């Protein structure tokens, strides 16, 4: 990268170190990207995708062959029997909620084996809010088991907590708003093998947000029963204007479909409108956008470490999601960081983000990202809750150069405010 003589020396030095760190990681990142490109292309070819599949439908959406083929393409990519890819999902949280409400019944018990859930799932479960129709409101009990100090699932505790009412084990693959390692596919495989051997009656559900196409395998490939995610993250390829997906065992996906629409309607209805082509094209491009995001995250990790901040993951670590966390340590630095990122956005670069309340979040949150799809974390964004220890979380990046420039502007903003030395 070109080093600017007008930048402070410490920023130029950090840029140079980050570029070197990224260069060392490129062979591994490029191998993963190649294999995922090949997998996605093969899925399109095997399902014989044609131009007429790109045309959307209106009204009830009956007989929509494009919708049905897209489901099958996604299932092949995710390694599952079936998939439900729908613009009617308003977010990843909605897709997760449909999956959970679809398969669970009053009296069931669920355990999160990766610790506390992401903030927006707290009200879905019923940990916050009363009388909103949460899982707990419907008589479904919940508990979570934290990961151990090494970021591993605690199987001994899990064995103690499982009862005859336990129906489902929930795993959040990414770190969310937590300072922990995300769960690698190898760790999920270990969980699947343990559970299928000792508790074959249990459903394993994975919140797959931010994880798709980061590794060579997907949760479905290693036997996870059900997973869900958002289309304005990885699989949308920065083109999907909305939507989410549920994938897994065919019977479980059908139950989620009954929850999304209505019993008896399930996956058979739902107009695809004007987004059908964008879903297909975004899915096809997703290995590229994911690869660029990971390159940007490696640069970001090395860059902020060189500036003296704690980062997670470290630039040398293998990755299983798009998220890069930087521990900033103060409210002022978190706000300045996000405002700097905003200055590097293609849209609304002149706008100054400020902390505010958001639906589904307990704390104030500051979010930066002038994206073409509102809130699209596949394009590039940074956000964080205004709480100790003031960690910022970056996601996405349709070009790793875009991510690099955004991080440099964030550092310059901290420097200009006297928050970086």
Give me the domains of the chain, ranges plus CATH numbers: 9-38+284-416 (3.90.1150.60), 52-277 (3.40.640.10)
Is 90 exceeded by the pLDDT of residue 357?
no
Q: What local confidence, expressed as pLDDT, does residue 193 receive?
A: 98
Q: What local confidence, expressed as pLDDT, does residue 334 receive?
A: 96
Bridge partners of 365, per DSSP, are: 356, 385
Is 80 exceeded by the pLDDT of residue 395?
yes
23: which residues sit within 8 A by CB, 6+ positions away?
A: none
Q: For residues 188, 154, 294 and 325, what is the CA-based torsion angle, rounded to 10 degrees?
A: 160
Q: What local confidence, expressed as pLDDT, does residue 311 receive?
A: 98
Q: Which of 116, 118, 170, 113 is nearest to 140 (CA)?
A: 170
CA distance 97 to 120: 10
Residue whose entry in the numeric block shows the structure tokens 């590039």:
380
Q: What local confidence, expressed as pLDDT, does residue 22 receive?
A: 97
Residue whose entry in the numeric block shows the structure tokens 């009388």:
131
Q: What local confidence, expressed as pLDDT, does residue 341 receive?
A: 95
Is 70 exceeded by the pLDDT of residue 237?
yes
What is the helix (H) or strand (E) element at residue 197, kind and residue range?
Answer: helix 185-198
Q: What local confidence, expressed as pLDDT, does residue 245 receive?
A: 98
pTM equals 0.95
Q: For residue 1, what pLDDT band results from cuts at 50, 70 and 90?
A: low
Is 90 exceeded by the pLDDT of residue 287?
yes
Is 90 exceeded by the pLDDT of residue 130?
no
Q: What local confidence, expressed as pLDDT, does residue 178 receive?
A: 85
Q: What local confidence, expressed as pLDDT, does residue 131 receive?
A: 87
Question: Taking residues 416-421, what's their average pLDDT?
Answer: 93
Q: For residue 204, what pLDDT band results from cuts at 50, 70 and 90?
A: very high
Could you count the other beta carbons within 10 Å of the beta carbon of residue 274?
Answer: 12
91-116: pLDDT as tens digits: 999 999 999 999 999 999 999 999 99
Q: What local confidence, expressed as pLDDT, does residue 359 receive?
A: 79
Question: Taking residues 294-301, what's their average pLDDT?
Answer: 98
96: which residues sit within 8 A by CB, 6+ positions away?
A: 121, 124, 207, 228
16-48: pLDDT as tens digits: 999 999 999 999 999 999 999 999 999 999 999
CA distance 400 to 407: 11
CA distance 86 to 169: 24
Q: What local confidence, expressed as pLDDT, does residue 264 receive?
A: 96
CA distance 90 to 101: 16
Secondary structure class of 156 (helix, strand, coil): helix
140: which residues sit within 8 A by CB, 6+ positions away?
A: 104, 105, 106, 107, 108, 109, 110
Is 80 exceeded by the pLDDT of residue 200?
yes
263: which residues sit within 8 A by CB, 6+ positions away?
A: none
CA distance 129 to 120: 11
359-383: pLDDT as tens digits: 777 789 999 989 999 888 889 999 9
Percent of residues in the chain assigned helix, strand, coil, to nearest 5 = 45, 15, 45
Is 80 exceeded by the pLDDT of residue 2?
no
Question: Taking residues 120-142, what's their average pLDDT?
Answer: 94
CA distance 133 to 126: 8
CA distance 94 to 97: 5
Q: What local confidence, expressed as pLDDT, does residue 421 receive?
A: 82
State the first-to-last Cα distance of the chain, in angstroms, to the nearest integer.
22
59-97: pLDDT as tens digits: 999 999 999 999 999 999 999 999 999 999 999 999 999
Mean pLDDT, the chain, integer: 96
């Amino acid at each position: 990268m070109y080093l600017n003589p007008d930048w402070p020396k410490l920023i130029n030095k950090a840029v140079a170190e980050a570029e070197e760190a990224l260069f060392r990681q490129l062979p591994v990142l490029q191998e993963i990207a190649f294999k995922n490109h090949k997998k996605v292309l093969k899925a399109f070819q095997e399902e014989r995708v044609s131009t007429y599949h790109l045309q959307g439908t209106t009204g009830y959406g009956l007989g929509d062959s494009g919708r049905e083929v897209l489901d099958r393409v996604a299932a092949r990519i995710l390694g599952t029997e079936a998939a439900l890819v729908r613009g009617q999902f308003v977010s990843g949280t909605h897709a997760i909620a449909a999956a959970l409400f679809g398969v669970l019944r009053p009296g069931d018990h669920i355990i999160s084996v990766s610790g506390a859930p992401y903030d927006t799932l707290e009200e879905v479960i019923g940990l916050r809010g009363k009388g909103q129709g949460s899982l707990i409101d419907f008589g479904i009990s919940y508990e979570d088991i934290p990961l151990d100090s090494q970021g591993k699932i605690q199987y001994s505790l899990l064995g103690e907590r499982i009862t005859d009412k336990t129906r489902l084990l929930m795993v959040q693959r990414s770190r969310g708003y937590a300072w922990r390692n995300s769960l690698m596919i190898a760790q999920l495989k270990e969980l699947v093998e343990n559970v299928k051997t000792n508790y074959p009656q249990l459903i394993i559900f994975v919140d797959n947000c931010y994880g798709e196409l980061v590794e060579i395998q997907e949760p479905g490939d290693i036997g996870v029963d059900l997973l869900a995610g958002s289309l304005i993250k990885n699989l949308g390829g920065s083109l999907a204007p909305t939507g989410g997906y549920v994938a897994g065992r065919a019977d479980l996906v059908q139950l989620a479909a009954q929850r999304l629409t209505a019993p008896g309607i399930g996956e058979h209805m739902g107009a695809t409108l004007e987004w059908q082509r964008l879903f297909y094209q975004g899915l096809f491009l997703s290995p590229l956008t994911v690869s660029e995001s990971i390159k940007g995250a490696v640069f970001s990790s090395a860059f902020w470490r060189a500036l003296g901040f704690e980062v997670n993951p470290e630039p040398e670590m293998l990755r299983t999601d798009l998220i890069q966390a930087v521990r900033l340590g103060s409210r002022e630095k978190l706000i300045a960081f996000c405002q700097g990122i905003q200055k590097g956005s293609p849209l609304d670069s002149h706008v100054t983000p400020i902390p505010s309340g958001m639906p589904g979040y307990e704390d104030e949150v500051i979010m930066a990202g002038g994206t073409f799809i509102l809130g699209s974390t596949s394009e590039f964004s940074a956000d964080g809750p205004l709480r100790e220890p003031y960690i910022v979380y970056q996601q996405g990046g349709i070009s790793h150069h875009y991510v690099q420039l955004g991080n440099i502007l964030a550092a310059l903003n901290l420097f200009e405010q006297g928050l970086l030395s």
